[in-house]
């Protein structure tokens, strides 16, 4: 089954799948911190996995640091041994999350983090039946690669990796008024505040996420542009 992901303005109250606003997390779980600069990461979006899809009953939340920028960490690190059919070494999916984080938790355990200082404008993510890629992306089915197929095979040699979702390239995560600008590299390669009124996730690349089919829920990210 495939579901198009559409972004739609609405109120946050009661929503489980959304962009921006205040995230939902289990009570006692903290907003992830950047391992490069130590700042709290920015909440970008989260998806409550619906019935009939892998990780049904769990929520995947995506964070990235917008307070710092490093030319070696603009996109998630990828394994160096091949692309399509690659085995991701055990431990890699925990270690590569430095200035970003994929947080997975039981949907029913989530509660709004009321003291989170939001910076991205809230919008609901709607699930629309069909294999087409929506305004935000697509959940389930097969990835629509911009370039060659880079689907990984396994994690730790024995856990199958399954396609979760994709996010369209250059999606603008609109920021609220007075939100701090995202740090980016200027034409000289130096850190500089972005003049844009939106944030970019992984410098605007198309994003493809694969998840473990058993054991601890972990995510492998691939970007293309």
Q: What is the pLDDT of residues 83-110, one digit of tens each?
A: 788 999 999 999 999 999 999 999 999 9
Cα 21 to Cα 30, 33, 76, 148, distances in angstroms: 16, 18, 24, 34
Its pTM stands at 0.96
Q: What band does 11 get if pLDDT is binned at 50, 70 and 90?
A: confident
- Whether the CB-CB separation of 69 and 191 falls below 8 Å is answered with yes
Mean pLDDT along residues 38-46: 98
Q: CA nearest 89: which of 99, 97, 80?
A: 80
pLDDT single digits (tens) 121-174? 999 999 999 878 999 999 999 999 999 999 999 999 999 999 999 999 999 999
Q: In the chain, what are the domain boundaries?
A: 2-224
Residues 170/47/221/168 CA torsion (nearest 10 deg): -20
Q: Looking at residue 145, what is its pLDDT?
A: 96
Q: Looking at residue 3, what is its pLDDT?
A: 95
Q: Please tell me whether residue 2 adopts helix, strand or coil conformation.
A: strand
Q: Residue 49 is encoded by which pair of tokens?
A: 């996995």
């Amino acid at each position: 089954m495939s579901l198009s992901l559409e972004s739609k303005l609405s109120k946050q109250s009661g929503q489980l799948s959304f962009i921006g606003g205040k995230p939902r997390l289990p009570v006692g779980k903290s907003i992830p911190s950047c391992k490069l600069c130590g700042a709290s990461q920015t909440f970008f979006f989260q998806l409550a996995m619906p019935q009939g899809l892998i990780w049904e009953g769990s929520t995947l939340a995506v964070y990235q640091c917008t307070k710092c920028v490093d030319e070696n960490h603009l996109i998630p690190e990828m394994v160096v041994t091949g692309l399509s059919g690659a085995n991701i070494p055990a431990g890699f999916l925990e270690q590569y999350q430095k200035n970003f984080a994929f947080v997975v938790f039981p949907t029913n355990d989530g509660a709004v983090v009321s003291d989170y200082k939001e910076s991205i404008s809230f919008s609901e993510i709607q699930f629309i039946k069909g294999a087409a890629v929506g305004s935000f992306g697509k959940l389930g089915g097969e990835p629509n690669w911009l370039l060659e197929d880079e689907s990984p095979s396994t994690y730790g040699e024995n856990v199958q990796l399954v396609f979760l979702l994709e996010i369209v390239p250059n999606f603008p995560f609109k920021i609220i008024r007075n939100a701090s600008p995202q740090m980016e590299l200027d034409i000289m390669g130096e850190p500089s505040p972005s003049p844009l009124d939106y944030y970019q996730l992984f410098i605007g690349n198309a994003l493809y996420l694969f998840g473990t089919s058993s054991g601890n829920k972990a995510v492998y990210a691939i970007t293309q542009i």
